[in-house]
Every structure is written in structure tokens, then in C-alpha cells.
């Protein structure tokens, strides 16, 4: 059973009733890296860190122990478009979790001494990314893909920008971007509708309305690139890709199916069978798709030795040509759909992921598509749909490449 309603200040609520006594709940805020001004690079992520550092009625120590002392968990994360503040508790502590989420969201005071300590933590996080080429290359690729647009910038920011953040800067960002009409509280578990409404009205509904007054800049002017950067690595790391469809584009489902067939997590994906199983050229090869509200990022990643880099690239391009020029047979298409649907259904058993998905869906579409609707969309995809999106997304003239070449 799905329950949805909206509060008078614009905060929306969605809950999926389950028989589990474990509650996953979170506030999804439609604010991320792409909402930062140039001098604020890294602010959305840094703010997420400092929400835990003190409110008008709690010190950092009390925030850290409020749910953990009950066996629960309290955490947050930031993406290019969202900030999610979430908790996991047993049902008897649901009100405690809702109250804490509301407290850090609306009452954080950002003590300067705590902010200065947290800057060092973020500096370490930035350094850890620099030490991980298999992670860093995706950020660098997206920066080039959305060149000159905030959506392309690294979520962590730079040491230079983060160093300059002050409590006043953070409060200003909160006031401008933490808008009540851009917030969704989502939850799963054994909670009655009456209790859900009471807690949400009490802790979120009492907040004054703060409506969004700005709109995001749509990324345009895509220019392909082919860039090689020398790194102190043992392998060459390569990402190939293109801009793609956003959340509101119906073609996103066919593209998702295509990418799962091409380089999804299963060991029988086309690229894994070719590059790894048949030729032994790579340990990892995968296809990824990051969707945003108005655009997307499709990428193919693999890592291989310098001597095998050329052959690996040729094999990837060969498989891309195959999916652009040949229709999948009825058997291949049916098998790809069955696999994709099975993965989707299994993923629905992850209550935390379900909670996050519901919040994001309400923000993007103002509705939540259930399992049956998603499965129907997948089943309706044709071989022509697959070939059409392959030709558009993997057109040679539109594919960009970033390579970390080993020294």
C-alpha cells in the first residue's frame, strides 16, 4: 500500500506500508552540486556534512547518539541534484527519527569550530578520490561532458573553495536552496497512516513555507572530446560516453535495457563476455547511466594494460557497431528483458533503496510508478527501440573518450 499527501508548506510525503518492523525514512531535498554558484563549488556536499554538527537545541554529540543509542542509523549523502538525510530505526522510534531529520534540516547552526574541523575531513575525502583513478575518472569525464555547467563539477568541490566557506555562506545557501516545495519525505515499514500524518505534520508541517525562486540552467552546447591524461597507474583506465536522456524522457527505459544488455552487472553481458571471458583483456568492464532531471550521462568503462589498450578499444567499438546495425533476435530480446526485470524485482527487496527511489520519483515526476508499471514499460520495448537509442547515443560523431594512460 502506498500513501501520499502534501503538507501546507509544500513538503510532500510518500510511504510504502510493509510488514517489517524496520523503518527506512529520509528527506530528499532537490538541491545538489548543480545548484551551486561558482564560489560555492562543493557547498551542497559540505553542508550535508555540517548538518550533523549542531542545531539550536543539540550539540554534535547528541545528534550522533540520538538514533545510534537505540540501535538505529542516521546518515546523509549528496548527488549532483539531491541531498538525502535518512535514518533506519525500529518502528517504535519512528517519531524520534522524523524529529531528528527535521531538526538538522531546519535548525542547524553550523558552529565555526565544527566547520573548521569538518573542512579537514573533506580535504581527506578529496585526497582519497585523487588516489583512486577508477573513481576519479568518472568525475573528470562528467566534468568534460558538461563543460562550463555546474552539473559537471565534482561533488566534493576543491580545497580552495571549501577552505573559504563560512557559517554565513552556509546559511545563505540553505536559505536559497532548501526550499520546502522541493522536499519529499519518504518511508517504508510498518507505520499506520494516522501516525505517519501526525509525525510529518508535527515536525515538518510546522516549518514556514520557503518556495523556490530560481530555476536550473539546462546544459547545452555539447562538444565531443578525446583526451588522454598520464597517471601513475598500473593500467590504462578508459571511459567512453555521451550525454543521454533525462528522467522525463520515455526513451530512458529502452536505453537502460540496452546498457544492461551491453555492460550490466551480470557476467553474461556482451562486453564482459567479449573483453574478459573470450580474450582475457580486462578484469572490469561495465556500462553506466546516470539520469538527471533534464539530461543524462552514459558511459562505458574498462581498465586494461597499456599493451592491450588498443585491442580493448577496438572490441568495444565493434560491439557498439553490432548493436547499432543489427536487430536483437526475438530470443535475445526476451532474454535481455527477463534478466533486467529479474534484477529490478530483486532490487525492490532493498527497503532503503526503495525509500530513496520513492523520494526521487516524487521530486522528478510528482508520482511513483509501481513495480507493475515499470515491468510493463520494459516488456513493451521492441528491438527497433533498442537499435534506435543505440544509434542516437552511440553515434561515432557523438562519443567522447577520456583515458588515464599509465606512465
CATH classification at residue 84: 3.30.830.10
Q: Which of 29, 38, 292 is nearest to 158 (CA)?
A: 38
The answer to whether position 215 is within a domain reads no
Q: How far apart are CA 22 and CA 351, in angstroms?
A: 9
Average pLDDT in the 64-89 region? 95
- Count of domains for the chain: 2
User: What digits encode the pLDDT tens for the residues 169-205?
Assistant: 999 999 999 999 999 999 999 999 999 999 999 999 9
Q: How far apart are CA 301 and CA 134, in angstroms?
A: 9
Q: Which of 304, 300, 270 is nearest to 400 (CA)?
A: 300
Q: Do 58 and 120 share a structural domain?
A: yes
Q: Which of 47, 99, 116, 118 is nearest to 76 (CA)?
A: 47
Q: Do 92 and 36 share a structural domain?
A: yes
The answer to whether position 20 is within a domain reads yes
User: What digits encode the pLDDT tens for the residues 221-257?
Assistant: 899 999 999 998 899 999 999 999 999 899 999 999 9
> Residue 335: which domain range?
226-406
Strand partners, 300: 240, 287
Which pLDDT does position 129 carry in this prediction?
82
Q: Do 330 and 284 share a structural domain?
A: yes
Which pLDDT does position 407 carry in this prediction?
78
Q: Do 267 and 174 share a structural domain?
A: no
Residue 123: phi and psi, rounded to 5, are -60, -40
Which pLDDT does position 367 carry in this prediction?
84
Pair 9, 208: CB distance under 8 Å: yes
User: What digits encode the pLDDT tens for the residues 163-175?
Assistant: 999 999 999 999 9
Tell the residue number behind the cell numbers 550525454, with chain if given.
243
Q: Do 185 and 307 share a structural domain?
A: no
Q: Do 155 and 53 share a structural domain?
A: yes
Q: Do 159 and 16 share a structural domain?
A: yes
Helices (H), 304-406: 309-325, 330-347, 351-365, 371-379, 383-393
Pairing of strands 12-17, 183-189: parallel
Which pLDDT does position 39 carry in this prediction?
93
Pair 336, 406: CB distance under 8 Å: no
Amino acid at each position: 500500500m502506498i500513501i501520499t499527501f502534501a503538507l501546507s508548506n509544500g513538503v510532500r510525503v510518500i510511504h510504502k506500508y510493509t510488514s517489517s518492523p524496520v523503518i527506512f525514512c529520509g528527506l530528499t531535498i532537490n538541491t545538489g552540486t548543480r545548484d551551486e554558484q561558482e564560489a560555492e563549488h562543493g557547498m551542497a556536499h559540505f553542508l550535508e556534512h555540517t548538518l550533523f554538527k549542531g542545531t539550536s537545541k543539540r550539540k554534535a554529540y547528541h545528534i550522533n547518539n540520538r538514533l545510534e543509542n537505540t540501535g538505529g542509523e542516521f546518515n546523509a549523502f549528496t548527488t549532483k541534484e539531491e541531498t538525502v538525510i535518512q535514518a533506519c530505526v525500529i518502528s517504535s522510534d519512528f517519531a524520534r527519527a522524523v524529529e531528528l531529520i527535521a531538526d538538522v534540516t531546519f535548525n542547524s547552526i553550523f558552529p565555526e569550530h565544527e566547520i573548521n574541523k569538518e573542512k579537514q575531513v573533506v580535504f581527506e575525502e578529496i585526497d582519497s578520490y585523487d588516489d583512486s583513478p577508477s573513481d576519479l575518472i568518472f568525475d573528470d569525464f562528467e566534468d568534460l561532458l558538461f563543460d562550463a555547467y555546474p552539473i559537471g563539477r565534482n561533488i566534493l568541490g576543491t580545497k580552495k573553495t571549501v577552505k573559504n566557506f563560512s557559517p554565513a555562506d552556509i546559511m545563505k545557501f540553505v536559505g536559497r536552496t532548501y526550499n520546502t516545495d522541493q522536499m519529499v519525505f519518504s518511508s517504508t515499514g510498518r507505520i499506520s497512516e494516522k501516525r505517519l500524518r501526525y509525525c510529518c505534520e508535527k515536525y515538518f508541517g510546522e516549518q514556514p513555507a520557503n518556495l523556490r525562486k530560481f530555476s536550473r540552467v539546462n546544459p547545452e552546447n555539447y562538444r565531443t572530446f578525446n583526451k588522454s591524461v598520464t597517471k601513475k597507474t598500473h593500467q590504462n583506465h578508459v571511459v567512453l560516453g555521451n550525454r543521454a536522456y533525462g528522467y522525463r524522457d520515455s526513451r530512458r527505459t529502452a536505453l537502460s535495457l540496452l546498457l544492461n544488455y551491453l555492460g550490466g552487472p551480470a557476467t553474461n553481458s556482451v562486453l564482459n563476455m567479449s573483453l574478459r571471458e573470450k580474450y582475457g583483456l580486462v578484469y572490469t568492464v561495465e556500462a553506466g547511466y546516470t539520469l538527471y532531471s533534464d539530461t543524462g550521462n552514459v558511459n562505458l568503462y574498462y581498465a586494461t594494460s597499456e599493451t592491450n589498450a588498443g585491442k580493448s578499444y577496438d572490441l568495444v567499438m565493434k560491439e557498439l557497431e553490432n548493436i547499432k546495425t543489427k536487430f536483437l533476435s526475438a530470443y535475445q530480446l526476451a532474454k535481455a528483458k527477463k534478466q533486467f526485470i529479474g534484477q529490478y524485482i530483486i532490487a525492490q527487496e532493498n527497503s532503503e533503496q526503495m525509500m530513496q527511489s520513492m523520494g526521487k520519483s516524487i521530486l522528478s515526476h510528482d508520482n511513483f510508478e509501481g513495480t507493475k508499471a515499470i515491468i510493463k514499460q520494459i516488456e513493451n520495448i521492441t528491438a527497433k527501440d533498442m537499435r534506435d537509442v543505440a544509434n542516437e547515443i552511440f553515434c561515432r560523431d557523438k562519443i567522447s573518450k577520456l583515458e588515464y594512460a599509465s606512465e
